[in-house]
Structure 1
Amino acid sequence: MNCQTLLIDDAPAVRLQGAAGDTVTVLLRGAQVISWVDASGVERLYCSPASPLKGPQAVRGGVPVIFPQFAARGSLMRHGWARMRGWTLQPWDTSAPEPSVSLQLHNAVGDDPQWPHACVCTLTVSLLPNGLRMALTVENTGPASFSFHAALHTYLAVGDVAQTTLAGVLPEGAVLSLREPIDQIFEAVTGPLQLHSPLGLLRLEHAGFGDVVVWNPGPDAGLADLPPLGHTAFACVEAAAVMQPVALAPGAHWQGSQTLLSGL
């Protein structure tokens, strides 16, 4: 396993390289994956060139960790605070079956008065022979139960969203065209999903998450951190726990994962 820490545009990050030359790069701020280059040399994630990696705003692209609130479904900042905070890089686990890196975030009772719960979040990112797995674990370290939303808000590079389709979210095997703007939560999706785009096929698998969110803002969103034609280059397909929030008792933990597989 080849793993190094580095600065990218003044933002601390860690980069992991697999045996086949595939790489994954993760920012320490937000534990946000910003790049996955697969074994064939193709960049599979989209990260907006108009979004500074060092902040202070959230980075648009890669895989933001959404926790403990999804969008504006609560009183916290949009999509919660996990993607805005600094995470701590954990010691390398050389015994792991795949090259992996883990980052951890501790939240104390007083860190956010609007969410007074103690917890530990861990994101483990692993390079597979033909893919990438991201696993988010949440542990309740406080004395009271709490509920939360969570998602891995994955911006997938597609080359041209007008020529991209997604299978696995609609009933009876129907295929979803991503030609038009979309912002939709698909409930109780078991997967797997297949994303067909000019960059090739991606198989998407998830566990622990019950929902799938599909999003592309289209040409008229007017997002300041997205180039004028940026929306054409990606499709967000994210494993999520939104419609049924996760409830954790004291001492309990939950894990949700999303796996991206290429070249299949």
Structure 2
Amino acid sequence: MSESSNKPPLSLTPGQWSFIRWKTIGQLEALEVHHPLFQATLFLQGAQLTQFAPKNEQDWLWLSPTARCEPGRAIRGGIPICWPWFGDPARNAPEVRKRVKTESAHGFARTALWKLEAVNESAHEVEISLSLEANKDFEAVWNGHALALLTFNFSVQGCRLALTTTNLGSAPLAYSQALHTYLPTSDIINSRVLGLGHSHYIDTLKGWEYLKQDGPVYFEGETDRIYEYGETLTVVTPEAKRKLTAVGSDSTVVWNPGPEKAAKLTDFPASAWKSMLCVETANAASDYRVLNEGQSHTLGVLIGRA
């Protein structure tokens, strides 16, 4: 952890913050970070980061130009939080699936209202923590009791997310999750992901066939794969190289909708598939996690320069 994270949090009274201010964007409340070294935008709904950029640099995250900021609607882009299940509930392990009472994908955290827990500021970084207690308020869609604590750390070197889940119930809790990171590119065809060579993956577009990766991952159309890999990756685009360093993960999802699916997605221009890709730090497929009473697990990613 950074040095500042060991300091007591500052008062949550906005007037006492140096670099952060509240802002209403669309119909949602967000925290805007205006630090001399970087800027960021973080929504309370979904604990969703939609912007991070060091000074004089382009946004490190991709946000759809037609994204809508409305209550109960997932924002298209940034880093949505998929929790306490990832993807189609029916495609999850039985232990995860039996707790889900809806057919909706990706859990409820990305549209739930999170609580601001702490803010730490320094001359070099900003750290913000948000929490979501999954209790009886969500019993219509999920059977469980857990606490999600998500901490964001921003600095000129990059941004770090750490999502800690604690089982507040008395029975073992099985869940899956992902930090659904959207990254920008000027040309998807000339973009690639390095570090997954020789790892195995599930290709969801080929009947969930189990395959082996040979070399870098390129994008030639719709791509939707769950890799059995959770370590450091490098995303190369014509503009930049980004290193994604995972913690608490043994699975990575690589996704691009391609032209046909892009035309059907909400809040997504038909041609936008050419300008984005997703590399998601995850606990997905066989990498789902089980927590006994009181146990915690942290899933994290550091997005930095390569």
Q: Distance in 1 between matches of 2:197 and 2:75?
A: 30
* Paired position in structure 1 for 2:68: 52
1:219 aligns with one of 259, 273, 276: 259
* Aligned equivalent of 1:7: 24
1:177 aligns with 2:218: yes
Matched, 1:79 2:106: yes
* Structural mapping, 1:18-167, within 5 Å: 18-20=35-37, 22-73=38-89, 74=97, 75=100, 76=102, 77-94=104-121, 98-109=125-136, 111-167=138-194
Distance in 1, matches of 2:29 and 2:283, equals 29
Q: Any conservation in 2 of the 1:23–1:38 contact (CA below 8 Å)? A: yes
Compared CA separation, residues 149 and 97, structure 1 to 2 (3 A): farther
Mapping of residues 235-246 of structure 1, within 5 Å? 235-243=277-285, 244-246=287-289
Aligned residue identity for 2:236: H
Structure 2 CA distance, aligned partners of 1:130 and 1:19?
Answer: 13
Q: In structure 2, what is the Cα distance between the partners aligned to 1:206 and 1:125?
A: 14
The more displaced of 46-55 and 127-136 is: 46-55
C-alpha change, 1:19 and 1:96, in structure 2 (3 Å) is closer
Tell me, yes or no, if the aligned pair for 2:231 and 2:247 is still in contact at 8 Å: no
Q: 2:248 aligns with which of 194, 208, 215?
A: 208
User: Which of these residues, 12, 16, 25, is aligned with residue 33 of structure 2?
Assistant: 16
Q: Which is higher, the Rg of structure 1 or of structure 2?
A: 2
AA aligned opposite 1:4:
R
Post-superposition offset of 1:143 = 1.9
CA contact (8 A) 2:52 2:60 kept: yes
- Separation in 2, partners of 1:236, 1:215: 5
Q: CA deviation at 1:196?
A: 0.7
SS in 1 for 2:284: strand
Specify the alignment match of 1:256 in structure 2: 299
User: Larger helix proportion, structure 1 or 2?
Assistant: 2
1:229 to 271, 277, 292: 271
1:176, distance to aligned residue in structure 2 (A) = 1.3
CA contact (8 A) 1:16 1:100 kept: no
Deviation at 1:70, TM superposition (A): 1.0
Give deviations 1:156-175, integer Å, cap 9, x for gaps.
11122111011011228821
What residue ranges of structure 2 are gaps of 5+ in the alignment?
A: 1-17, 90-96, 200-213
Give the distance between the partners of 2:34 and 2:197, measured in 1 at CA: 35
CA–CA distance in 2 between the matches of 1:71 and 1:146? 18
Helix, strand or coil for the counterpart of 2:130? strand
Task: Report the Cα offset of residue 113 of structure 1.
Answer: 3.8
Aligned length: 261
User: Which segment drifts farther, 93-102 or 227-236?
Assistant: 93-102
CA distance in 1 between partners of 2:109 and 2:166 (Å): 14
**Contact 2:231-2:250 within 8 A present in 1 as well:** no
Q: Distance in 2 between matches of 1:209 and 1:17?
A: 31
SS in 1 for 2:64: coil
Identity in percent: 27
Q: Deviations over 1:128-177 (max 9, x none)?
A: 33111011111111222210001000011112211101101122882111
Q: 1:168-190, CA deviations, whole angstroms, 9 ceiling, x for partnerless residues? A: 11228821112322000001x14
Q: Residue 30 of structure 1 contacts residue 82 of structure 1 at CA under 8 Å; is this kept in 2?
A: yes
Cα pair distance change 1:230/1:120, threshold 3 Å: same
Shift of the alpha carbon at 1:38?
Answer: 2.5
AA paired with 2:133? H
Unaligned runs of 5+ in 1: none
Measure the CA separation in 1 of the matches of 2:171 and 2:63. 38
Describe the shift of the 1:15–1:123 C-alpha distance in structure 2 as closer, same or farther (beyond 3 A): same
- When normalised by structure 2's length, the TM-score is 0.80
